[in-house]
Amino acid sequence: MNNVYIVSSVRTPVGKANRGSLAHVPPVDYATAAFKGAVNKVDNLHLEDIEDLMLGSATPEAEQGMNMAMQVGQAAGLGNKITGVTINRFCASGLQSIAMAHQAIACGHASVLAAGGCESMSLLTLGGNNFVANPKLNDIFPDAYLNMGNTAEAVAKQYNVSRTSMDKFSLRSHENALKAIEQGYFKEEIIPLDLEVNHYKDGNLHTRKFRFSIDEGPRAGSSIESLAKLPAVFRAGGSVTAASSSQMSDGAAFSVLVNEQTLQERNLTPRAKLIGFAVAPVTARLMGMGPVAAIPKVLKQTGLSLKDIELIELNEAFASQSIAVINELGLNPDIVNVNGGAIALGHPLGCTGAKLTATLLHEMERRSLRYGMVTMCVGGGMGAAGIFENLRI
């Protein structure tokens, strides 16, 4: 098996769905910016060196249809000199694309690959534009189509996660994210976007040009008292609120992976390695507990223990499942989502795994840590987890 190295990992700023900076921007445009930004971060490597482009998307249709990965390469100026594949493992799509790129290079099927994720939750409705349930599947396994908010309520009930603990967790996510932005921790991982947005007012066309460089989700001024007043949004008498749920968002992220021969021939500096990746099934009704199944599996695969993992990016699909996962596995909360999570920063579905990878790798370098993990629950009843080794310590 060939050695595989990550030499670059970046993301766009994350926009608030429907009313944010990317709400009316074609996703191919900002995915292309992330792709080009990832390659341009690597000295002695060029767009033409990318042999295949792997892109995760949880809703690969409409504006994200017709193999968006291929379109990103073409939009980057590679025309007929690029291939691409779009991957869908729902919330783990971005991490899955990185794992698949790693596997391809390790097996000798490629030398230089770009892998990432992109999602516009503004332009694509949840579940797709014209989703039709399969009646036979609905008869034999009705939980296949269970609303994600109801799974969060089920987890809260099953694992005795209180409303107060969820509110505290949500507040911490925003506070950590706001501090990270204030300290400039995300600057190195973010590719700023120069946008031009057109709109009509009073019958006239107006064009707004601006630079988008800071995540839009984090909110200042929240308090436990204000969060406690919010109503449940998924179930009458429930405990999951809009504030304890991940934000609907738009964004893209990419990593560049190479084999050892390319690393040496181009005199590239390795950033990290993906040393393990695992997916595991869980009860669909409790899909938020996916990491509880995936994390032990990837630890066994790598021969590591939880004590070896120094930093964790746990996707905050909901506060209820994040708290339950931390409690069930005995994770150290002080190393989980140190710069905020999806409750504050957003969860652009198919992009999220790639986005969290960029955040994890940069934070591991900043703290000089060796091992870190990206993990998430996945709709339908899955969990995914990847372990990365920092090579810049």
Question: Within the chain, what is the greatest distance between any pair of CA atoms?
Answer: 64
Q: Are 55 and 84 in contact (CB under 8 A)?
A: yes
Question: Helix or strand or coil: residue 204?
Answer: strand
- Among residues 91, 118, 174, 362, the one annotated as catalytic is 91
SS (H, E, C) 80-149: HHCCEEEECCHHHHHHHHHHHHHHHHHCCCCCEEEEEEEEECCCCCCCCCCCCCCHHHHHHCHHHHCCHH
- Among residues 102, 118, 174, 347, the one annotated as catalytic is 347
Active site residue 107: no
Using alpha carbons, select from 45, 119, 62 the residue that is nearest to residue 348: 119
Exposed, middle or buried: residue 316 (CB in 10 Å: 0-12, 13-18, 19+)?
A: buried
The DSSP H or E segment spanning 345 is helix 342-345
Question: Helix or strand or coil: residue 286?
Answer: helix
**Quick one: tokens of 389?**
């080794």
Q: Are 93 and 59 in contact (CB under 8 A)?
A: no
Q: Are 98 and 115 in contact (CB under 8 A)?
A: yes
- Among residues 102, 174, 351, 377, the one annotated as catalytic is 377
Q: Are 10 and 191 in contact (CB under 8 A)?
A: yes
Active site residue 118: no
d(CA 60, CA 123): 12
Active site amino acids:
91, 347, 377
